[in-house]
Chains A and B, each alone.
Chain A
Amino acid sequence: MHDDVDELIRRRTQVEIPAVVEDRLRGRLMDFRARVEQRPPSRLRSFVYSVLAPPVLRPAAMAVIALAIVAVGLILIPPQSRVSQVYAAAAAELKSARSLQYTVVLNSDPYVGVDFSYLAPGYRRLETSWGIEVRTDGATGKQIVLMHGIHAYLNETGKTVENQGNIDDFSAQLRTLPDKADETLGEQWTGQRKLIGYRLHEAPPNGSIPGLKNLDIWIDSATREADHVDITVQENGKPEHQMHIQNIRVGAGVDRSLFDLTPPSGYSAFVVPGAKSSTNPATGIEVSAAIGQTAEMTAVVMPMSGSYAQAATALGAVSDSLQKQGVTPTGPPLGRFWSEQHWQAGYPVPPGTQAEAPFEVVTLPAGPNASAVVNGVWGRDTEARWGAFLKSVVEQGCVPVGPAIEIWSGEDGKPETQSTEMRIPVAKAK
């Protein structure tokens, strides 16, 4: 009787899922699996649901469990510990997040904000009030700023300020929250959601927003996920102002189609130490490597992983640490790079200098090294320069045998004084 309808529905819904769509959904599943595996076990809830499953026992079981929860909640567990668990869970999730997405909003006093209306072709404008939206992929270290013109959009008493540094700092700040907050700010309701506020008075060491006074993080008490962050900043001699990080999405899937990996005209991709992809050799940039012996060097460094844009922050932290010890660096700052997941930034120091975690004392061994100095700002041609440099090394009958090293000289904000030494340990090719 009803076979005709069933047959029609069955026939018209038996379609194969296209490979492109399957890849996309499978990506969602992989993200989901990662989140599930990081989720702390909740034996109590599992027990409750298993007791509730047989319908006959449901009313009695519910009453017993409700009483038990009330008793445990009101009598046995101190309220403070529950509150701190919410914060700890959110901080841990932010630290291990595969990706972080958020919107940065800056207040209008004393800064003047500009509403960007420009949208690059192929990009989707997401929930943006004014300011900028940054998407960071923590796994690959890639960042994408959806608004065009991340530079020079703030105006402070007539002086144009570049804000690239702050963008990186937000990401680092969220990923380096301490395990415990300094203060609890109470509750706040947003619709049906209860948010609990926590205050940090000092910037975490790896995420130093200059002049950070307070960092207030509001966490959804049910999901234990960060909802938004209010940051109060007061730099020396400047008025206090606030920044807000909103629409925080942890571990959300990054839409790969938003990334254009095709080099722009005139540029090509190169094999660099630790890089995953390889393409054509350099065409436009020439760097000549000089092979010579270098002396042993001791350095205090901070081990890093993720975006190289964190280098300035890491150097600041190392510098502060050395200053506290009364140690004067013996040369300009340097970085050693194995891969984007493993690199170091720090300063050369006199032998015998001590360091405490997270800093490390390392020795750059004496031996044959290839070296070249590039004058001016060390900018977006980095990969092309390294490609040309390594090509020159190979042409001279040598092969790299250690991590790439960059030594940065000069003063910030004065491009004419800046130069970068590219260096890499080498051996004769067999």
Chain B
Amino acid sequence: MTERQQEYERLIAPIEDRMMRTVWRILRDPDDADDAFQEALLTVWKRWDRIVAHPNPHALLLQICIHSAHDVLRRRLRHGRRLDAVAVPENIPDQAASAIQTISGAEQDAAVLRAIGNLPKNQARAILLHTVEEVPYHAIAAAMNCREATVRKHVARARTKLRVLLSHLIPAVPKEERTHA
């Protein structure tokens, strides 16, 4: 096995599925996911030597995937494309209760993605890595090339914004806070 093959086996192979899933979770559109994934791989290609020497390469790779997907998501929002259309399934079973649940779930998915798309880049990256990918703070700090305290700050700010943006989906949010949205 060549050195490059060994590097690939060590860095990418163990998290191939995770990389693909990360992009899909944020975009839910085949073409957008494809675009974002290609952009992510291009970035990985350009920074290959840096990734090889990185203390936490897997976190860095996930961070790159999230960054690319978030970029595409923001672009999509800027161009005014509806997220609801891609999130609502085409074939809904003909059973009233579950159909309503399915639509409601799809709308909630779209609302969450829209809210994430409206977050600043660093906040979105930090909260997605921490909450969705469950990467520890110190590893996120290494991936984002900043201090752990900074990551915590990004996550806290992202939570605050999301709580406001998604207040209609979180019944526990006090009324005063909702009115500030």
Contact = CB atoms under 8 A, between A and B. Distances in A.
Interface of A: 2, 4-6, 8-10, 12-15, 17-18, 20-22, 24-26, 28-29, 32-33, 35-39, 41-42, 45-46, 48-50, 52-53, 223, 253
Nearest to A12: B112
Contacts of A48: 49
B45 A15 contact: no
B89 to A, nearest CB: 11
Classify the secondary structure of A's interface with B. Answer: helix
Chain B CB count within 10 A is highest, among A5, A20, A46, A223, for A5
23 contacts: A2-B156, A6-B159, A8-B170, A9-B127, A9-B131, A12-B113, A14-B25, A15-B24, A15-B28, A18-B24, A20-B30, A24-B30, A24-B34, A25-B24, A25-B33, A26-B16, A29-B41, A36-B8, A37-B5, A37-B8, A45-B49, A46-B49, A46-B52
B16 A29 contact: yes
A217 B26 CA distance: 40
Contacts of B4: 36-39, 41
A5 B166 contact: yes
Nearest to B4: A37
A15 B109 contact: yes
B53 A9 contact: no
Interface residues of B, number: 49
Nearest to B34: A24
B8 A25 contact: no
A47 to B, nearest CB: 8
Contact of A8 (B5, B50, B166): B166
B55 interface: yes
B172 A4 contact: yes
Interface string B1-32: 01111011000100010011101111010100
A53 B53 CA distance: 7
A212 to B, nearest CB: 33
B108 to A, nearest CB: 6
Nearest to A223: B46
B20 A17 contact: yes
B38 interface: yes
Contacts of B156: 2
A193 to B, nearest CB: 13
Contact of B53 (A20, A37, A46): A46
Q: Top 7 A-B pairs ranked by shortest CB distance?
A: A49-B53, A45-B49, A50-B53, A12-B112, A17-B24, A25-B20, A13-B25
B12 A33 contact: yes
B169 interface: yes
B48 interface: yes
